[in-house]
Amino acid sequence: MLRRVTVAAVCATRRKLCEAGQELTAFWGIKERGWCEDSAAARPFPILAMPGRNNVNSMDRILGENSRIARLEADESEEEGWRGSLSNAGDPEIIQSPRDPKQYRYIKLQNGLQALLISDLSNMEEEEEEEEEKEVVLEEEDDDEASGAETQDDDEESFDDEDEFDGEHDDDLDTENNELEELEERAEARKKTTEKQSSVALCVGVGSFTDPDDLPELAHFLEHMVFMGCLKYPDENGFDAFLRKHGGSDNASTDCERTVFQFDVQRKYFKEALDRWAQFFIHSLMIRDSIDHEVEAVGSEYQLARPSCANRKELLFGSLTLKHEPKKNNIDTHSRLKEFWTCYYSAHYMTLVIQSKETLDTLEKVVPIRKIHALTITWALPPQQQHYRISWLAGHEGKGSILSFLRKKCWALALFGGNGETGFEQNSTYSVFSISITLTDEGYEHFYEVAYTAFQYLKMLQKLGPEKRIFEEIRKIEDNEFHYQEQTDPVEYVENMCENIQLYPLQDILTGDQLLFECNPEVIAEALNQLVPQKANFVLLSGANGGKCDLKEKWFGTQYSIEDTENSWAELWNSNFELNPDLRLPAENKYIAFDCPETGYPVKIVNTPQGCLWYKKDNKFKIPKAYICFHLILPLIQKYAANVVLFDIFVNILSHNLAEPAYEADVAQLEYKLVAGEYGLVIRVKGFNHKLPLLFQLTINYVAEFSSTPAVFTMITEQLKKTYFNILIKTETLAIDVRLLILEYARWFVIDKYQALMDGLTLECLLSFIREFKSQLFVEGLVQGNVTSTESMDFMKYVVDKLNFMPLEQEMPVQFQVVELPRGHHLCKVKALKKGDANSEVTVYYQSATRSLRECTLMELLVMHMEEPCFDFLQTKQTLGYHVYPTCRNTSGILGFSVTVGTQATKYNSEVVDKKIEEFLSSFKEKIENLTEEAFNTQVTALIKLKECEDTHLGEEVDRNWNEVVTQQYLFDCFAHEIEALKSFSKSDLVNWFKAHRGPGSKMLSVHVVGYGKYQLEEDGTPSDCIIPITDIRAFTSTLNLLPYHKIVK
């Protein structure tokens, strides 16, 4: 049956695409340009062979010393890589997961460009039928902008939030794809029509390492300028407008040795988008008049990056190796850009990846700063790709590990060991191996002892040598992950693949470094033996170093000093120092799955006074994995600011307590996440279902048997102070916090929580709070994946039995009440809390009311229309800042929309930015009034297509379902309802909705967080007469009406 469906889908596609044009000829137009005059010194990477699996005996061997590329060149046909017959046969040489439904083909054009074609024909039969059904609906296309506009929910937890001590919810998270089907009978309505975007990525083998001495950042600037018009499509903003109109997006990034460009778009418009995109690499105009505003954009990006400790550390590390000062006089930037582009944007430096729902033959035709203590110990090694085997041990967090030992001493909070695989850490010149440790205050005072612990562990590894058992465990874990891998978003996938083509031989471009093929103890030992104290570099990062640093890094202004290691420690490390008996290799991992059956079917649900359970069997992805999600709800948390803080402390200590016993599970690709939600503890575990119950039970056991030592309590509370402080000093998070403090009644400001923590909380207070927490709860759960309903009910029973709690006396709402803003324009302006940070944030918010799903969808369509002209007006033309975006807002069920601009106080008065936003919205009103019906329908079609995009992996589907459960909306077939609403909209609906919310009776709130600079708060002008200032938030909100609790479910 499945085979017949697949064949039918392929045949239907062939019939439909036989007349497709040969747009890939566009990429033949990319020249294999002549070498630069200084090509021997300046070439970004040798265009020879990439390192193969067997080419690892000498780690300092130059990239390319094997016959891989020669063999590919010998196999290349005389017809520019064409296969001739119309088929979907892939390259059998490329190793791919048995669960991967895509087909792959590698080709190399005569101009030297290497390309990987990815054909994803899954669900094609359903799409063919769907296309026929929709012929009569929304046929119109063309004229006006659109995009996947940002839809953000102001109250939501995220499974992928990685801040270990972020007790805050990440507000304003994207929830556009957080709804799905509720029951099996309603699933068909949502999933009958699905279509993935077509995606393309191009990797150019040049980056910032090739910047000329007199023009640093030229490679990054070229990344911006290359899209400023091309000969065939000269409009400087034409490509972005085209993508937005057809539900697409694009991005680019510059690393040390590579620059990556990518875009995605609806399949229907893929061919034209690809042609437009290719022209930028064939004949980019790089319009001279665009230079000034793109310099402003890069400058804003630089200012936004300055507060990041990671960016400052990396630039400092790089700056210390510079030999010459850049020259700035008498440089024609435009001509130097053209020269750099001509020299390096050459076909033989490029790798291209295309993924779409087309056959491979069809695709071949279209190929054309924060408060923190951290110690980083770094070694510079020859370029190599074997580090992950050593880093797996150095970064281990279980018993006997470096981190386990340091945690017991309350010296460390987190550790990363290995190579970050960025262009700065892994390139053709060198590789960086580092051990980065986040220190506590006490750990900062003992940083030499911390470093000594790391050296003792490495010496132990050197003495024992590589162990076959550990290699086999890693191999089994990676084999499981690869064999049962889930599909990823196409645009992310092509971005990764176009870099892999430059790094790996053909058969390994899908596996990368994931699979281990042979245990080579000599290679591992050779790298390991270089990790000795005498060759190490230390970076000790801390605010406590203030006043001790006499040097200043040129670009970010980072204060630093260079010191010799203390003699006593240097002598110890040069000696044959003793091993630490508490440090040892990890024990055998009991969490690794060996039994991954593909089991049956079943159904649904539990509903009791103590909680309810939602269940969905995975019948789509068919992988031996599952997700178990539980929300432990209680009203106690939001009663006082101190309760919120105690709850944050509880979740962070719980994470600390679990880190060691659960680490083996993490290594075995079983993951857990604990989140301090607004109204309860969120527990999520995921991974191979064979051993997942062990991890879930372990997590619940640690909740039930919670305990803490005074030392751990002190360590966590001190770290939490830094976390709260770091939230406050970021302009973007402070702006969010101020806006929600105004809008959401009874919300606790971060300053309230910071003050409660500074006032002093004891371990006894925490333990008393936890006893009350566990006494009365309501538990909601979702189990989804390769598990039966009986197994999922057992999870619910385990929670209830183990925690032994009473049910809540009344229903508990999981949202804040929202105040109704008065009519008019209100302004709340606050000063940024980090001195010296020039970044300002200006958000203009329009409140709607308690609205329906139809009106929510209409607002989303409006913001989608708004996105591209907003960026063009405020960023490109007005050069106000790098981050400019409109957003749909769902604030505890109350709709609204906003426009946000990240700017700098060194350049603009925040009220000037506010007025420019208003100026844009006025021009936007005229724009949509003059919108043609054809352009309106094109935008509607684009949004429908986005909502029809199929899930790429099980986790994406679970995220949507879980969002419906955790917000208690339960509208799992939300997208189906939204699509129906979209089909009913007219242009007048859009215009009238915008006018109603922008007219004289509008409810408008501006929030300004003003950075330090020429236009900082003291020198800012007074607000105009029509703006009502908010000088006391509590006093202002206490006079306002409260809107009823509301959920957007109809």
Task: Round to whole Å and give the CA distance between 567 and 572.
Answer: 8
* For range 608-622, the mean pLDDT: 88
* For range 553-582, the mean pLDDT: 84
- Predicted confidence at residue 294, as pLDDT, reads 65
H helices of 576-680, in order, are: 641-659, 663-667
* For range 620-649, the mean pLDDT: 92
How buried is 580 (Cβ within 10 angstroms: 0-12 exposed, 13-18 middle, 19+ buried)?
Answer: middle
Which of 395-399, 532-536, 714-718, 970-974 has the largest mean confidence? 714-718
- Predicted confidence at residue 75, as pLDDT, reads 33
Q: Are residues 868 and 933 in the same domain?
A: yes
Q: Are 358 and 88 in contact (CB under 8 A)?
A: no
- Predicted confidence at residue 85, as pLDDT, reads 37
Q: Read off φ and ψ for residue 744, nearest 5 degrees.
A: -100, 120
Res. 483 pLDDT band, cuts 50 70 90: low
Task: Round to whole Å and give the CA distance between 335 and 221.
Answer: 13
Q: Is residue 162 part of a domain?
A: no
Q: Are residues 344 and 385 in the same domain?
A: no
Q: Say yes or no to pLDDT of 598 above 90.
A: no
Distance in angstroms between the alpha carbons of the first and the last residue of the chain: 38
Q: Are residues 717 and 857 in the same domain?
A: no
Q: Are residues 345 and 426 in the same domain?
A: no
Q: Say yes or no to pLDDT of 142 above 90.
A: no
- Predicted confidence at residue 529, as pLDDT, reads 83
For the chain, how many structural domains are there in total? Answer: 4
- Residue type present at position 113: L
Last residue of a domain, one of 366, 395, 417: 366
Q: Is residue 283 part of a domain?
A: yes
Token representation of residue 831: 């000063």
- Predicted confidence at residue 180, as pLDDT, reads 28
Residue 681, SS3? Answer: strand
Q: How many CA atoms lie within 13 A of 201 on its CB side?
A: 25
- Predicted confidence at residue 1004, as pLDDT, reads 95
Residue 985 burial (CB count, 10 A): 19
- Predicted confidence at residue 177, as pLDDT, reads 34
Model pLDDT for residues 192-204, shown as the tens digit of each residue: 334 568 889 988 8
Task: Round to whole Å and give the CA distance between 452 and 682.
Answer: 38
Q: Are 300 and 881 in contact (CB under 8 A)?
A: yes
Residue 17 burial (CB count, 10 A): 16
How buried is 368 (Cβ within 10 angstroms: 0-12 exposed, 13-18 middle, 19+ buried)?
Answer: buried
Q: Is residue 591 part of a domain?
A: no
- Predicted confidence at residue 161, as pLDDT, reads 36
Q: Is residue 7 part of a domain?
A: no
Model pLDDT for residues 421-439, shown as the tens digit of each residue: 666 777 767 778 888 888 8
Distances (CA, A) of 1048 to 123, 947, 978, 992: 31, 17, 12, 21
Q: Is residue 12 part of a domain?
A: no
894-904 vs 611-617, strand pairing mode:
unpaired
Give the H/E segment covering residue 354.
strand 350-356
**CA-CA-CA-CA torsion sign (30, 35, 38, 40):** positive
Task: Round to whole Å and give the CA distance between 375 and 406.
Answer: 13
Q: Say yes or no to pLDDT of 319 above 80.
A: no
Task: Sheet with 537-542: list strands edge to edge.
Answer: 412-418, 431-439, 373-381, 537-542
40-49, 256-265, 800-809 — which is least confidently predicted?
40-49
Q: Are 665 and 691 in contact (CB under 8 A)?
A: yes
Considering the candidates 157, 223, 499, 964, report the single residue annotated as catalytic: 223
Task: Round to whole Å and give the CA distance between 580 and 451.
Answer: 13
Q: Is residue 512 part of a domain?
A: no
Q: Are residues 684 and 730 in the same domain?
A: yes
Model pLDDT for residues 71-105, shown as the tens digit of each residue: 222 233 333 333 333 456 777 788 887 778 788 88
Q: Are residues 879 and 791 in the same domain?
A: no
Model pLDDT for residues 905-955, shown as the tens digit of each residue: 888 999 999 999 999 999 999 999 999 999 999 899 989 988 888 777 888
Model pLDDT for residues 924-938, shown as the tens digit of each residue: 999 999 999 999 998
Task: Round to whole Å and give the CA distance between 491 and 503.
Answer: 19
Res. 809 pLDDT band, cuts 50 70 90: confident
Give strand ranges (E) for 793-877. Answer: 806-807, 824-831, 839-850
Q: What is the CATH number of the domain that holds 407?
A: 3.30.830.10
Q: Are residues 929 and 1018 in the same domain?
A: yes
Q: Say yes or no to pLDDT of 695 above 90.
A: yes
- The average confidence (pLDDT) of the chain is 76
Res. 152 pLDDT band, cuts 50 70 90: low
Give the H/E segment covering residue 245.
helix 238-245
Show the domain range for 714.
603-807
Q: Are residues 864 and 959 in the same domain?
A: yes
Which residues neighbour 977 within 8 Å (Cβ) at sequence distance 6 or greater? 853, 971
Q: Say yes or no to pLDDT of 461 above 90.
A: no
- Predicted confidence at residue 68, as pLDDT, reads 25
Distances (CA, A) of 381 to 43, 209, 519: 21, 18, 21
138-142, 414-418, 473-477, 877-881 — which is least confidently predicted?
138-142
Q: Say yes or no to pLDDT of 266 above 60.
A: yes
Closest CA to 671 of 629, 731, 717: 629
Q: Say yes or no to pLDDT of 46 above 50.
A: no
Last residue of a domain, one of 757, 787, 807: 807
Task: Round to whole Å and give the CA distance between 1014 and 905.
Answer: 6
Residues 942-976: b if buried by 16+ CB within 10 A, e if exposed: bbbbbbbbbbbbbbbbbbbbbbbbbbbbebbbbbb
Q: Are residues 408 and 337 in the same domain?
A: no
Q: Say yes or no to pLDDT of 52 above 60.
A: no
How buried is 132 (Cβ within 10 angstroms: 0-12 exposed, 13-18 middle, 19+ buried)?
Answer: exposed
- Predicted confidence at residue 493, as pLDDT, reads 79
Greater model confidence, 132 or 278: 278
Angle (CA) 153-843-882 rounded to 5° is 100
Rounded to the nearest 10 degrees, the angle between the axes of helix 987-998 and helix 933-948 is: 90
Q: Say yes or no to pLDDT of 685 above 90.
A: yes
- Predicted confidence at residue 593, as pLDDT, reads 54
Q: Say yes or no to pLDDT of 861 above 80.
A: yes
Last residue of a domain, one of 776, 807, 838: 807
Res. 166 pLDDT band, cuts 50 70 90: very low
- Tokens 């750099």 belong to 340
Greater model confidence, 788 or 708: 708
Q: Are 635 and 677 in contact (CB under 8 A)?
A: no
Concatenate the DSSP letters of all residues of 414-479 into one string: EEEEE---STTTBSSS-EEEEEEEEE-HHHHHTHHHHHHHHHHHHHHHHHH---HHHHHHHHHHHH
Is 223 annotated in the active site? yes
Q: Are residues 834 and 796 in the same domain?
A: no
Token representation of residue 850: 């308690």
- Predicted confidence at residue 896, as pLDDT, reads 93
Q: Are residues 646 and 774 in the same domain?
A: yes
Q: Is residue 157 part of a domain?
A: no
Q: Are residues 621 and 560 in the same domain?
A: no
Q: Is residue 1033 part of a domain?
A: yes
Q: Are 75 and 83 in contact (CB under 8 A)?
A: no
- Residue type present at position 152: Q
pTM above 0.75, yes or no: no
Q: Say yes or no to pLDDT of 62 above 70.
A: no
- Tokens 């084999």 belong to 479
Q: What is the CA radius of gyration of the chain?
A: 29
Bridge partners of 613, per DSSP, are 606, 781
DSSP 624: S
